[in-house]
């Protein structure tokens, strides 16, 4: 049994996330976690809300709430939606936790001791209209590299180039839109990550199994232009982790907080301590996942995220971990995703464009969305959500293939043999051929799941469903029954066992439907089909079952057209 630590990029607190956010990190991470648990591995799957920084302050002000109250309320909303989408976190934490505050201040102290933090007097943009210093990401303008007119002052989301606010052409406040900006002097702390360039380069080179998308973005930041630059880790804000060296004050940094991109990744570690504290467990129980001197040396650590988060997770966070000089667990594999676009444009939280997670669940149960998103995951390139494609996928894959198979075999058995598994005769050549095909396909499915090839895994799972339908169509027990009831009974027994098998294999993708299938088959047996022949004999003759309700209703043309009109890209 292996031990696998899984983290997905932590969603920002301001607002409900859209489907593009979901497929970019949390959902594929959940797929992988569920699969690994199903194979008997020990898994720790962690996520949290990212709660610090200006966006939280502004969202709270807009909602008319103190920022701490706003974050607590939105945490509850996001945790509820995540649960309803079937995201199986072992713990869903908060970056505003005491555990994260203590760990962030601890890391800052260790980095300072190592000579990796320098104090810089710098000029920072101040908005007279807003009456405040503007964090880099709250200054917008035209990117000097690609010409994108909504580039932020820290990074252009279009070309991913790292920027300073002064690099922008025609900068403006993203809060008020005002161009009445001036530069004032302030002091901040910088992480001297440029001194670690060679060390980070060698570490990235050692990750030969990382996706090309991941390594190409990391290398671009390391080598393009001026290469890896030192990074500011403090901000002039009220809401955040106060700047301290461990539990000691940091002279000259009074009233400042750590930059959200410094403390947010540390929450991955803090989240495990939150889990231990919430469950009354000793520190040893979380340290065995995160400290290589406490047992984490045999842990495989996998991260999931969208491509816009790659630079910080391949450079700045590793620089924090390595620079501390302490035996923390480093990531082994970083699975990154391109963007999911929406119906000819882009999903955008800030612009309110696209279908959001709460809206999706108002339309259809989670498994409809889980299947479509995972089977269309933007791995090798950006992908696009359209209502026509969604309708086609739901109807053909879920309703016609899987749902129809379950309905046909259970209803036929009930009509001819009653609601118990019939017959005890041996399987014939047709059944043995199916077992051989399924064995080959299941081994392929396992291979794709192990290497986190999400779309290929979905394609192979669908092919496994199709194989059962083709078997049922060619075996035609409704015809066989007229001439040879005993053979028809064996065919039906095979079909009912396929339902249990499909429930086990499909659980990572469509967990609620999987549970319904197992319930209908009156079994708690979720053993993985290492031996497919044995798996297709798990339900013996005489075992009772029930005919389930329709697993998946088809999406009608009228529904598709209505939803396309209702969700034109602007959140109402």
Tens-place pLDDT, residues 162-171: 888 888 999 9
**Is residue 131 a contact partner of residue 173, using CB atoms and an 8 Å limit?**
no
Tens-place pLDDT, residues 497-515: 999 999 999 999 999 999 9
Tens-place pLDDT, residues 450-479: 999 999 999 999 999 999 999 999 999 999
Average pLDDT of every residue of the chain? 94
Give residue 569's pLDDT band: very low, low, confident or very high (50, 70, 90): low
Q: Report which of residues 263 and 123 the model is more confident about.
A: 263
Q: What is the pLDDT of residue 519?
A: 98
> Binding site, residues?
143, 146, 156, 159, 349
> Binding site for ATP, residues?
349
> How far is the C-alpha of 306 from the C-alpha of 289, rounded, in Å?
24
The percentage of residues in the chain with a pLDDT greater than 90, rounded to a whole number, is: 84
Ordered DSSP codes for 138-152: GEEEE-TTT--TTEE
Specify the range with the lowest mean pLDDT, choosing from 325-339, 347-361, 546-560.
Answer: 347-361
Total residue count of the chain as it appears in this document: 572
**Is residue 188 a contact partner of residue 234, using CB atoms and an 8 Å limit?**
yes
Give residue 54's pLDDT band: very low, low, confident or very high (50, 70, 90): confident
Q: What is the pLDDT of residue 571?
A: 44
Tens-place pLDDT, residues 153-204: 888 888 888 888 888 999 999 888 999 999 888 899 999 999 999 999 999 9
Does residue 352 carry a pLDDT above 80? no
Give residue 350's pLDDT band: very low, low, confident or very high (50, 70, 90): low
What is the mean predicted confidence (pLDDT) over 213-237?
88
Rounded alpha-carbon distances, angstroms, from residue 503 to 16, 254, 389, 442, 450: 31, 57, 25, 13, 19
Strands 383-385 and 345-346 turn out to be unpaired
Domains of the chain listed by start with CATH number? 399-535 (1.10.730.10)
Q: What is the pLDDT of residue 506?
A: 98
Tens-place pLDDT, residues 73-86: 999 999 999 999 99
125 phi, psi to nearest 5 deg: -75, 130
Global pTM?
Answer: 0.92
CA terminus-to-terminus distance, the chain: 48
> How far is the C-alpha of 519 from the C-alpha of 515, rounded, in Å?
6
> Binding site for Zn(2+), residues?
143, 146, 156, 159
Tens-place pLDDT, residues 19-34: 999 999 999 999 999 9
Q: What is the pLDDT of residue 572?
A: 43
């Amino acid at each position: 049994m292996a031990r696998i630590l899984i983290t997905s990029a932590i969603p920002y607190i301001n607002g409900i996330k859209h489907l593009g956010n979901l497929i970019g990190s949390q959902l594929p991470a959940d797929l992988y976690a569920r699969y690994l648990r199903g194979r008997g591995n020990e898994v720790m799957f962690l996520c949290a809300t990212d709660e610090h920084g200006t966006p939280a302050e502004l969202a709270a002000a807009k909602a008319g709430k103190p920022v701490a109250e706003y974050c607590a309320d939105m945490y509850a909303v996001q945790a509820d939606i995540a649960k309803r989408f079937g995201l199986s976190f072992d713990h869903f934490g908060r970056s505003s936790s005491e555990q994260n505050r203590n760990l962030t201040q601890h890391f800052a102290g260790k980095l300072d001791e190592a000579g990796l933090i320098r104090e810089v007097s710098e000029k920072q943009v101040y908005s007279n209209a807003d009456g405040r210093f503007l964090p880099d990401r709250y200054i917008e303008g035209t990117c000097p590299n690609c010409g994108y007119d909504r580039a932020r002052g820290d990074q252009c989301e279009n070309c991913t180039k790292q920027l300073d606010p002064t690099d922008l052409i025609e900068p403006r406040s993203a809060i008020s839109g005002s161009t009445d900006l001036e530069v004032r002097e302030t002091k901040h702390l910088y992480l001297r990550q440029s001194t670690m360039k060679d060390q980070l380069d060698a570490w990235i080179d050692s990750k030969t199994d990382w996706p090309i998308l991941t390594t190409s973005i990391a290398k671009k930041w390391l080598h393009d232009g001026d290469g890896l630059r030192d990074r500011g880790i403090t901000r002039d804000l009220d809401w955040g982790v106060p700047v301290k060296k461990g539990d000691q004050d940091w002279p000259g940094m009074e009233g400042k907080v750590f930059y959200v991109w410094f403390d947010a990744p540390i929450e991955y570690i803090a989240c495990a301590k939150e889990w231990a504290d919430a469950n009354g467990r000793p520190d040893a129980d979380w340290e065995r996942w995160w400290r290589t001197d406490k047992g984490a040396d045999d842990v495989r650590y996998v991260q999931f995220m969208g491509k816009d988060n790659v630079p910080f997770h391949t450079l700045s966070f590793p620089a924090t971990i390595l620079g501390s000089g302490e035996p923390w667990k480093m990531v082994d594999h970083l699975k990154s995703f391109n963007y999911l676009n929406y119906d000819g444009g882009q999903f955008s939280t800030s612009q309110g464009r696209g279908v959001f997670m709460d809206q999706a669940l108002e339309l259809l149960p989670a498994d409809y969305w889980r299947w479509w998103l995972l089977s269309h995951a933007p791995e090798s390139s950006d992908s696009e959500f359209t209502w026509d494609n969604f309708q086609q996928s739901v109807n053909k894959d879920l309703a016609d293939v899987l749902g129809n198979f379950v309905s046909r075999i259970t209803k036929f058995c009930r009509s001819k043999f009653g609601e118990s598994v019939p017959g005890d005769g041996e399987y014939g050549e047709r059944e043995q051929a199916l077992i051989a095909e399924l064995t080959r396909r299941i081994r392929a499915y396992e291979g794709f799941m192990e290497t986190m090839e999400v779309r290929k895994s979905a394609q192979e799972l669908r092919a496994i469903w199709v194989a059962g339908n083709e078997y049922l169509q060619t075996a035609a027990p409704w015809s066989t029954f007229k001439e040879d009831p005993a053979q028809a009974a064996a065919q039906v027994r095979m079909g009912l066992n396929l339902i249990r098998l499909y429930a086990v294999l499909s659980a990572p993708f469509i967990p609620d439907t999987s549970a319904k299938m197992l319930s209908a088959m009156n079994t708690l047996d979720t053993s993985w089909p290492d031996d497919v022949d044995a798996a297709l004999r798990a339900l013996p003759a005489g075992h009772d079952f029930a005919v389930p309700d329709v697993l998946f209703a088809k999406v009608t043309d009228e529904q598709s057209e209505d939803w396309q009109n209702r969700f034109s890209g602007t959140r109402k």
